[in-house]
Chain A
Amino acid sequence: MIGPLLKGLGKTLEQMFRKPITIEYPEKKREVSERFRGHPRLLRDETGRIKCVACHLCETICPSKAITVVPEGGPQMHDKHPREFIVDLARCIFCGFCQEACPKGAIMLNRKYELAQYRRDVLIYDKEKLLEE
């Protein structure tokens, strides 16, 4: 009769010396996997220019219509880049289609996941913000 009780207490004692599974969020942040799909960001090339050429493919593929691109020409004939590049993270579903569609590898999902905000407009990220992320 006492046997099972001791067995149970023994288990409890054993747990006390184990490493805890719970992460004390937000004091501690969880490390996400390499392939984690956070929100999109824009990349620069090695010269520091924005990689995006405003081809609109991400805008076209985006299933939740979160992306708006306004293109602009540059001084050279083959020069095209976005004047505006807006991602509405309130709409984004983190599917990563934009990253897959991009012919230039200019847009990628980062590993950030903290997106809770009190105001919606904070979630509308423009080009500068997306480049910083």
Chain B
Amino acid sequence: MITVTINGKAYEAQPGMTVMQVADANGIRIPRLCYHKALSPIGACRICVVEVKPGPPRPVPACTTPVADKMQVVTESETLTHYRRELLQLLLINHPLDCPICDKGGECELQNLTRELKISQQPYQAAKLTPQYDSQSPLIERYPDRCVNCERCVRVCRDWVGAAALYFDNRGYRTAVTAGGRVMDCEFCGSCIGVCPTGAIIDKTFKYSARAWQLQKEAAVCPYCGGGCHLVLETKKGQLKRVTASFDEPVNGGIICSRGRFSLDIVQHERRLTEPLIRKDGELRPVAWEEALDFVADRIREIGSRHGPFALAGIGSARATNESNYVFQKFCRAVLGTAHVDTTAALDHQKILRALVHVLGRPRVTWADGEGTSHRAIREVSGFQLALGTLDDLDRADTVLVVGSDVKKEMPPLVWRINQAQKRKSLRELLIVSSRHTRFRSSARWSGTCRPGGAGFVILGILKGLFETGGEKLRGLGDFRREEVLRRRLDATKWDLVQDATGLDRERMVFLADRLLTAERPSLVVGYDLAGLGDGYDAACYVADLLLVLGKKLKLHLTAEKANTQGCSDMGVSPHWLPGYAPLEDADRFEAVWKMEVPRDPGLTLAEIVAAAAGEGPSPIRGLWMVGTDLFGTSLNRSAVEAALERLELLVCQEAFLNPTAAMAHVVFPARLAVETEGSLTSGELRVQRQEGKTFASGPRDDWEILCEVARRLGRPMEYASAAQIFSEICQVFPHYDQYGLPDIPAEGFWWNRLYRTKYGSMGWRRVLDPSLKAVIPWLEMPPQVSEEYPFLLLVSRSLFQSGTLSRYGLGARTLEPQGLAWLHPQDARDLQVKEGERIRVASASGSITAPVGLDRRVPRRTVQASLHFQDLPVQRLTDGGIVYPVRVIPTAEVEPGQG
């Protein structure tokens, strides 16, 4: 601690802080223009000049001057005001007087400064500059004449987002921010809009729709990916006008991606469902709530009495809140009486969780004996959740290894944190192994290209490398059983095989293993390129084994594609566990709380439910209840899903939009979106956050409300008055959530894997990885290989602008990527003699589609890359629950002359 005197008053400060930071921390305002607290200071505008003693005899910028002990700072004096006024007047030479029409008017830092410094005229003249306006870029407009060259947009784009799409052109007086070309080639996250102090970069979707002071601001958690970013919804007269982010909050630090900023207009989309629909004479027709609820209850009773409760199944939603998912699985298990509960996350994210539960154990709390029940002391906590890291752990990590994940597209906040850690130099080594090149990958210290589908073998190879070269260093890190079996299995797997599967040789694997072993705080990021594999569970078992071997040191970060991917697993929407990952044998405990019977048999998984609904197996599924799920947006084979949904006697959907799945339903209930539902959401880093829920459309109801209504009609009522009441029941059955009541959850949420943080206040209990844990060593299948018949590989990928199928309705996503493309490497396209935009036919063993071609140098050779988001690109016809398939690519001109 050092002491700094500012304007005659002494303040305490940490060494290394700048004058600006000390002043801000103590509520002293220094005028500033280029300084932004989320960005590294550059001291360009010199508006923040202060006088410092001891120091140079001239004013120095407060944002770049570090404080020293016994430093005396003066922030206001006649000279300083004179300097600032002169500087500002020089900036105003080229600034147009269009404040009345500028969208920034009212929240413009330049406007505020001009008023603050009482500038009413601008006496200088200079050569007129010709600004290069940009009105052609999608979603963003740029007015260079309003720019003050503060470099904030350039810094945020480079240091946070990692896109580096904006930079300075020219020198001196003619310096201007440019995007290179006529239109911007970037990620359209709009972070530059957020940091711009003037109206030089503005939101095209917001342009001229309201003035800043007319907007009401409300916080919300982003409903798109599992990053849990905080958004600020700005509304005027109940209409959403724009989405921004606050730089004060700790989760995403004010940065949001294009989905959150530009695609949230789905809440007031004209095609939102507002009335329940029932299929009458083959068509879905709007009916009253009572009629739809009664109809559903009757049909369920009928199917249940004729075929037994196990003819019914439920699919929960990674989009719905924890409360809705909890009530949903309770509805399925206790009210319908079926064990068939699953979610589409079972195809990817839940595979990793299953492996983690299997290897590292379920979350368990052991209480000390002899204490009261209200504030019991914890003796021990164990389970897989202790191995999962938070975003803050990424800040501290010195080595980050990314395997099997296109992180930016799956969960952008992870990338922003990694970029920041690299900028701060706390992250020394970023190692990325992926099958495709990405912009993020080019920022890595080391990157390797693995074959599509080889992510599991990469982890296996790293384990093999660890055991071969780790030696003494491995001792004392992990303590688990079956280590010998694991070693033997790894020894039996030859390096040649690993190299065949991954394309990476022994030397590189050993290098990665060595980096992980020598790092002090390593982090491993694993995502959907591993989890989405057909044998994703087996691959994830090796990830869990790696966590065992490296013990407490290694932190695992999972990407989550949807807002509550993690939460719906936590709430027990899975045939493998009850809420809180409780084993199915624990049903007694839940029966005591729910006062209803719970089936003990293991249920069918998602793929099995679809197969059973299509009539396969001894006991077919006849009724299916789905909450916020589009089965046609998953990697399940489209033809199989179609067959299954067509055969169903009853398909009930709770949806916000009439997506292709809901269009096949017998009954559709209009549901609120996750932004509109009061409740909690659990992000990919196990952060439980409160969603306050602001309703935009009248008509739709909360998912859990609809379920409670039907339960009451079925004679097994679940009486909940509010989301808070459901949350307290969740706390009762899952003690890790029992840290706050729903209304008391702090703005930044809480991590459920850090039980000690709040209520229990103590860290006195042991937090260890249980030595009784044992490695699980499944056989990994060789990733799909190309053959003569199928010379290409299909690699299912994700888009940066889309999220699942919900973003289809969003303005940003529609503007930026209206059409799904089959991406090819330009060289492959040349070999096939197809040009960009031409249609090709892609055929796999499961089916075939035609699609327009996109060219991208970052796509690996002999690979077709396509994503599942688009309605006009039914990639699902080619897949069967996985993400890599051998395919044949035929230019359509050869197959169907005349088409193209």
Stretch at the interface among B208-216, B521-529, B620-628: B208-216
Q: Is B99 an interface residue (CB 8 A)?
A: yes
Interface-centre pick from A54, A72, A77 (highest chain B CB count, 10 A): A77
Q: Is B138 an interface residue (CB 8 A)?
A: no
User: Which A37-57 residues have C-beta < 8 A from chain B?
Assistant: 53-57
Distance, CA A77 to CA B145, complexed state (A): 12
Q: Is B304 an interface residue (CB 8 A)?
A: no
Residue of A nearest to B131 (CB): A77
Q: Is B289 an interface residue (CB 8 A)?
A: no
Which of B105, B133, B135, B207 touches A55 (beta carbons < 8 Å)? Answer: B105
- Shortest CB-to-CB span from A93 to chain B, Å, is 21
- Shortest CB-to-CB span from B96 to chain A, Å, is 8
> When A and B form their complex, what is the total count of cross-chain residue pairs whose Cβ atoms lie within 8 Å?
33
Q: B101 near A80 (CB under 8 angstroms)?
A: yes
Q: B100 near A73 (CB under 8 angstroms)?
A: no
Q: Is A60 an interface residue (CB 8 A)?
A: yes
Q: A60 near B213 (CB under 8 angstroms)?
A: yes
Residue of A nearest to B212 (CB): A56
Residue of B nearest to A57 (CB): B100
- Shortest CB-to-CB span from A125 to chain B, Å, is 21
Q: Is A112 an interface residue (CB 8 A)?
A: no
Which A residues are CB-close (under 8 A) to B98?
78
Which B residues are CB-close (under 8 A) to A78?
96, 98, 101
Interface string of B198-212 (1 = CB under 8 A from A): 000000000111110
User: Which B46-103 residues have C-beta < 8 A from chain A?
Assistant: 96, 98-101
Q: Is B143 an interface residue (CB 8 A)?
A: yes
Interface string of A79-115 (1 = CB under 8 A from B): 0100000000000000000000001100000000000
Distance, CA A71 to CA B105, complexed state (A): 14
Q: B208 near A56 (CB under 8 angstroms)?
A: no
Q: Is B141 an interface residue (CB 8 A)?
A: yes
Which B residues are CB-close (under 8 A) to A54?
101, 208
Q: B208 near A80 (CB under 8 angstroms)?
A: yes
- Name 13 extra pairs, CB < 8 A, besides A60-B214, A72-B208: A54-B101, A54-B208, A55-B211, A56-B210, A56-B211, A56-B214, A57-B100, A71-B209, A73-B207, A77-B133, A78-B101, A80-B208, A103-B99
- Shortest CB-to-CB span from A79 to chain B, Å, is 8
Which A residues are CB-close (under 8 A) to B207?
73
18 contacts between A and B (CB under 8 A): A53-B100, A54-B101, A55-B99, A55-B101, A55-B211, A56-B210, A57-B100, A60-B211, A60-B213, A71-B208, A73-B207, A77-B135, A77-B143, A78-B98, A78-B101, A80-B101, A80-B208, A104-B100
Distance, CA A77 to CA B96, complexed state (A): 13
User: Which B207-227 residues have C-beta < 8 A from chain A?
Assistant: 207-211, 213-214
Distance, CA A71 to CA B135, complexed state (A): 19
Residue of B nearest to A72 (CB): B208
Which A residues are CB-close (under 8 A) to B210?
56
Distance, CA A77 to CA B143, complexed state (A): 9
B interface, size bucket: 10 to 19
Distance, CA A103 to CA B133, complexed state (A): 24
User: Which B91-146 residues have C-beta < 8 A from chain A?
Assistant: 96, 98-101, 105, 133, 135, 141, 143
Which B residues are CB-close (under 8 A) to A56?
210-211, 214
Which of A55, A72, A77 touches B100 (beta carbons < 8 Å)? Answer: A55
Distance, CA A117 to CA B190, complexed state (A): 51
Interface string of B882-893 (1 = CB under 8 A from A): 000000000000
Distance, CA A78 to CA B100, complexed state (A): 10
Q: B211 near A53 (CB under 8 angstroms)?
A: no
From known contacts A56-B211, A71-B208, A73-B207, infer whether A103 and B100 are also in contact, taking CB-CB under 8 Å: yes
- Shortest CB-to-CB span from A22 to chain B, Å, is 46
Distance, CA A57 to CA B319, complexed state (A): 41
Distance, CA A60 to CA B96, complexed state (A): 23
Which A residues are CB-close (under 8 A) to B99?
55, 103
Q: A53 near B214 (CB under 8 angstroms)?
A: no
Residue of A nearest to B141 (CB): A77
Distance, CA A72 to CA B101, complexed state (A): 10
Which A residues are CB-close (under 8 A) to B211?
55-56, 60
Residue of A nearest to B204 (CB): A73
Distance, CA A45 to CA B360, complexed state (A): 75
- Shortest CB-to-CB span from A104 to chain B, Å, is 6
Which A residues are CB-close (under 8 A) to B209?
71
- Shortest CB-to-CB span from A102 to chain B, Å, is 9
Distance, CA A133 to CA B141, complexed state (A): 37
Residue of A nearest to B211 (CB): A56
6 smallest CB-CB distances across A and B, nearest first, come from A55-B100, A80-B101, A71-B208, A56-B211, A73-B208, A53-B101
User: Which B364-404 residues have C-beta < 8 A from chain A?
Assistant: none
Distance, CA A54 to CA B143, complexed state (A): 19
Residue of A nearest to B105 (CB): A55
Interface string of A9-47 (1 = CB under 8 A from B): 000000000000000000000000000000000000000
Residue of A nearest to B207 (CB): A73
Which B residues are CB-close (under 8 A) to A71?
208-209
Distance, CA A71 to CA B214, complexed state (A): 13
Which A residues are CB-close (under 8 A) to B96?
78
Residue of B nearest to A70 (CB): B209
Distance, CA A103 to CA B99, complexed state (A): 9
- Shortest CB-to-CB span from A71 to chain B, Å, is 5
Distance, CA A119 to CA B319, complexed state (A): 51
- Shortest CB-to-CB span from A68 to chain B, Å, is 10
Which B residues are CB-close (under 8 A) to A57?
100
Distance, CA A45 to CA B101, complexed state (A): 17
User: Which B3-24 residues have C-beta < 8 A from chain A?
Assistant: none
- Shortest CB-to-CB span from A50 to chain B, Å, is 13
Residue of B nearest to A74 (CB): B208
Distance, CA A119 to CA B459, complexed state (A): 79
Which A residues are CB-close (under 8 A) to B133?
77
Distance, CA A55 to CA B106, complexed state (A): 10
Distance, CA A104 to CA B98, complexed state (A): 10
Which B residues are CB-close (under 8 A) to A73?
207-208
Distance, CA A53 to CA B141, complexed state (A): 19
Distance, CA A57 to CA B99, complexed state (A): 11
Which A residues are CB-close (under 8 A) to B143?
77
Residue of B nearest to A69 (CB): B211
Distance, CA A60 to CA B100, complexed state (A): 13
Distance, CA A119 to CA B96, complexed state (A): 45
Distance, CA A56 to CA B209, complexed state (A): 11
Interface string of B446-460 (1 = CB under 8 A from A): 000000000000000
Which B residues are CB-close (under 8 A) to A80?
101, 208
- Shortest CB-to-CB span from B137 to chain A, Å, is 12
Which A residues are CB-close (under 8 A) to B105?
55
Distance, CA A54 to CA B105, complexed state (A): 12
- Shortest CB-to-CB span from A54 to chain B, Å, is 7
- Shortest CB-to-CB span from A103 to chain B, Å, is 5
Distance, CA A73 to CA B135, complexed state (A): 12
Interface-centre pick from B98, B133, B211, B213 (highest chain A CB count, 10 A): B211
Distance, CA A80 to CA B210, complexed state (A): 12
Distance, CA A3 to CA B105, complexed state (A): 77
Distance, CA A57 to CA B212, complexed state (A): 11
Residue of B nearest to A71 (CB): B208
Distance, CA A27 to CA B752, complexed state (A): 82
User: Which B447-503 residues have C-beta < 8 A from chain A?
Assistant: none
Residue of B nearest to A102 (CB): B100
- Shortest CB-to-CB span from A58 to chain B, Å, is 11
Residue of A nearest to B133 (CB): A77
Distance, CA A58 to CA B100, complexed state (A): 11
Distance, CA A56 to CA B133, complexed state (A): 25
- Shortest CB-to-CB span from B585 to chain A, Å, is 63
Residue of B nearest to A55 (CB): B100
Distance, CA A105 to CA B133, complexed state (A): 28
Interface-centre pick from B96, B100, B141 (highest chain A CB count, 10 A): B100
Distance, CA A105 to CA B105, complexed state (A): 18
Residue of A nearest to B100 (CB): A55
Distance, CA A53 to CA B99, complexed state (A): 10
Residue of B nearest to A78 (CB): B98
Residue of A nearest to B96 (CB): A78
